[in-house]
Structure 1
Amino acid sequence: MWPTLVANKILKKRLGSTNFIADYPCYDEPLLGFEDIDHSLETIPNHHKENHKYKIFVSTWNIGGIAPEEDLNIDDLLETNNNLCDIYVLGFQEIVPLKASNVLGSENNEISKKWNSIIRKALNKDEKDKVHSESSHDDFQCIISKQMVGIFISVWIRTDIRPFIQHPNVSCIGCGILGCLGNKGSVSVRFQLHETSFCFVCSHLASGGKEGDEKCRNSNVAEIFSRTSFPRGPLFNLPRTILDHDDVVLLGDLNYRISLPEETTRLLVEKREWDSLLENDQLMMELMNGNNLRGWHEGPIKFAPTYKYCPNSDMYYGCCCHGKKIEKRRAPAWCDRIVWHGKGLKQLEYTRSESRLSDHRPVKAIFTAVIKVSSEFKSIQSLSLSERFEQIKTPFEVSTTDEIICRKQSSFHL
């Protein structure tokens, strides 16, 4: 029985790159009947292109296998009370417990659907007020939602820029049990906005706080970079690997620890001496001197380590269990990180949220992305593209049995 389950899991991850959930199906054929429009854009001189700036929100959160309540408030995480961003990328790890039945068995999508419902409500706050309006619509729509065991990523786009998104794809890489199962690994998503390609890599790397365990994490990163691939597109001009994209963000429970004795780490955390700790942070060393992430960027860390907390507490594990035997002592660490690669990204914010839902704290970043838009194509899009999009989506607004993200709007398993 187990060999059959393992084989099925391996084969399932090799399904096509359009095997994901979205609010509407995506069309990669040339828009408006201009078969060569994408190709012609390559020959447009730069002085005929405009630079547009978009705000991108990225977060990562290890849930620890805890199912969220339907009324979970994530406003603090998304900062929806402040100015909204244009794109939201939310990555999660361990949305289901990493037990054998979840790792080897069929995918349990109920929790990911619940998370998508929570995200939709948070991003479209005035949805109830619009239900009875003729102009009822969501301000944000899900363009990609993909789960592999406990790793889950969900990408949301402001509705008015949704028509300018092309070529959304996914690629799942398992690095866990047997070197191929999805209890560890990555779910990568890519899409193109106007003429700029994006890739977001949601990862859960090898755990362990012993000396030398960081080599397993470095090996996971190398595997993810080498094995992740996307289709080249109808004109064979789309980026195929992670680093082929214009802008790349790696997010997740990367599990890198602090290479100091536990007692020293705890003392420095208590004193909030972040710089002394970061000098010995394994990911920092990999960014500066490593092979796989050298040349990547991370914003200044001005927040406390995000792992590991006692349940429903602000106290680190090992500090709150007095009188009880602790089987494993885990020193605090910045396990949850967001790093990026690409000249078009500028980080505006890098911080954490304070939800006590799990033993990790969520981490979030806000970027501006500079995107090139040809003035010729922009005028065509503004006149006709949204109208075309409204026409093609109507026939598909039907309910499916098991892929509905929320009650209000239909979703599709592509």
Structure 2
Amino acid sequence: MATTSLSYICTLLPPVHVPFSSAMVSGVHHFHLSQPEPSSSRTRSDHMDTTKLLRLLVSTWNVGGVQPSRELDLDDWLQTKETSYDIYVLGFQEIVPLSAKNVIGPEKSSVATRWNSLIGSTLNRRNQCFHCIASKQMVGILVSVWVRDDLIQHLRHPSVSSIGCGIMGFLGNKGSVSVRFLLHKTSFCFICCHLASGGRRGDEMQRNSHAMEILSRTSFTKTCSSTSSPQKILDHDRVILLGDLNYRISLPESETRLLVQQKEWNVLLEKDQLRTEAAAGGAFEGWQEGNILFSPTYKYYPNSDEYYGCVHGKKHEKRRAPAWCDRILWYGKGVKLNRYERCEARLSDHRAVRAILTVEVESTK
């Protein structure tokens, strides 16, 4: 476990100018996709002087070890042509191939630098000003957090914590990178995860174990004596988790493929391991997620809309049934979901998932 303060881990890039609850499991979610998005930083009428509403774009993307070209267009993913958000939280998995050399050897920071450069140039292209307040890589996991310029003066105590759960129980091919900070008087914690893979019966137990390890082992340096600097994930005011959680659908492969073809999402979600494990009191009990109204995000042929195993004549392929591996969850109050969707960039064998959120932030008068 590694915890680091901002002065050591934050890649400060200048602006570039060029509770799964029982209600949720049963299908009744707390937030609805049709709710309108409020204007950025609008104050609530019942707390005019103390509560602000900020808009967040949170996205997770397993890029399958594919390095981005300098020409990669991120406008659609980051929605820069439509609107602007106050905070962007972007989590990646497999920014490098998970080979033994990459897992055990020195980190390839050049790939993270390239992603951050692309993100920065995209966000700041249209007379906007965003700063990267934290960027941290652990093997293939990368989290990058960007905040609008006028909010920087109100941001304090940023730090990160990395937890390896992979090979030998501690290497970083699986695990999490978490970022926390205080904005005005509200503490935030974002957890970017890559949990155990595998589609065999019982593999979900290893994913549960990884999730519980991350929640219990993640700890941040206490920077002051007050409660404004919480040390554990669930002690923060706003907690959002994103990543390739790798949970599968507990149905025979042929049945899963048929139901995907028929777009029977509700039938499939009844067998979604993340939901069934949470409902049984396992990992992620008490967390919340939006309604899933989109196709499974894994596994595709690269640069294709065909699910892996659907092309006839390809022999000796490992079978991979479609699944919603890529998810965004939150815990506690003060978070409202506006949209929950997948993105259609074909870079890897996963599709990115994006959540548009409104969060309450308490500020001083």
> TM-score, normalised on structure 2?
0.88
Say whether residues 1:333 and 2:312 are aligned partners: no
CA contact (8 A) 1:202 1:250 kept: yes
1:368 to 355, 358, 365: 358
Equivalent in the alignment of 2:12: 23
Q: How many residues align?
A: 332
Equivalent in the alignment of 1:57: 57
Q: CA deviation at 1:49?
A: 5.2
CA contact (8 A) 1:50 1:372 kept: yes
- Encode CA deviations 1:308-334: one digit per residue, 9 max, x unaligned: 0012110000002x2221331000000
Equivalent in the alignment of 1:357: 347
Query: Whole-Å Cα distance in 2 between the matches of residues 370 and 47 of structure 1?
Result: 11
2:310 to 314, 319, 333: 319
Equivalent in the alignment of 2:337: 347
Q: CA deviation at 1:233?
A: 1.6
1:159 to 149, 153, 166: 149
Query: Whole-Å Cα distance in 1 between the matches of residues 314 and 291 of structure 2?
Result: 37
2:180 to 186, 190, 195: 190
Query: Whole-Å Cα distance in 2 between the matches of residues 118 and 287 of structure 1?
Result: 36
Equivalent in the alignment of 2:2: 14
CA contact (8 A) 1:318 1:326 kept: no
Give runs of aligned pairs for residues 125-164 of structure 1, distance below 5 A. 125-126=125-126, 139-164=129-154
- Identity %, equivalent residues: 58
2:80 aligned partner, one-letter code: T
Equivalent in the alignment of 2:105: 105
CA contact (8 A) 1:60 1:91 kept: yes
> TM-score, normalised on structure 1?
0.78
Query: Whole-Å Cα distance in 2 between the matches of residues 97 and 119 of structure 1?
Result: 21
What is the SS of the residue equivalent to 1:328? coil
Equivalent in the alignment of 1:384: none
1:229 aligned partner, one-letter code: S
Give the structure with the higher percent helix. Answer: 1
Query: Whole-Å Cα distance in 2 between the matches of residues 286 and 338 of structure 1?
Result: 16
What is the SS of the residue equivalent to 2:54? strand
What is the SS of the residue equivalent to 1:276? helix
Give runs of aligned pairs for residues 164-183 of structure 1, distance below 5 A. 164-183=154-173
CA contact (8 A) 2:220 2:231 kept: yes
Q: Which consecutive residues of structure 1, in runs of 5 or more, have no partner in the other structure?
A: 1-12, 26-45, 128-137, 376-414
Equivalent in the alignment of 1:67: 67
Say whether residues 1:278 and 2:269 are aligned partners: yes
Larger Rg: 1
Query: Whole-Å Cα distance in 1 between the matches of residues 13 and 91 of structure 2?
Result: 21
Query: Whole-Å Cα distance in 2 between the matches of residues 211 and 97 of structure 1?
Result: 26
CA contact (8 A) 1:17 1:171 kept: no
Q: Which consecutive residues of structure 2, in runs of 5 or more, have no partner in the other structure?
A: 15-45
Say whether residues 1:241 and 2:232 are aligned partners: yes
CA contact (8 A) 1:310 1:359 kept: yes
Equivalent in the alignment of 1:258: 249
Say whether residues 1:223 and 2:221 are aligned partners: no
Query: Whole-Å Cα distance in 2 between the matches of residues 119 and 16 of structure 1?
Result: 23
CA contact (8 A) 2:3 2:160 kept: no
Equivalent in the alignment of 1:29: none
What is the SS of the residue equivalent to 1:266? helix
Q: CA deviation at 1:298?
A: 0.3
Q: CA deviation at 1:336?
A: 0.3
What is the SS of the residue equivalent to 1:365? strand
CA contact (8 A) 1:95 1:111 kept: yes
2:171 aligned partner, one-letter code: L
Equivalent in the alignment of 1:114: 114
What is the SS of the residue equivalent to 2:308? coil
Query: Whole-Å Cα distance in 2 between the matches of residues 191 and 216 of structure 1?
Result: 30
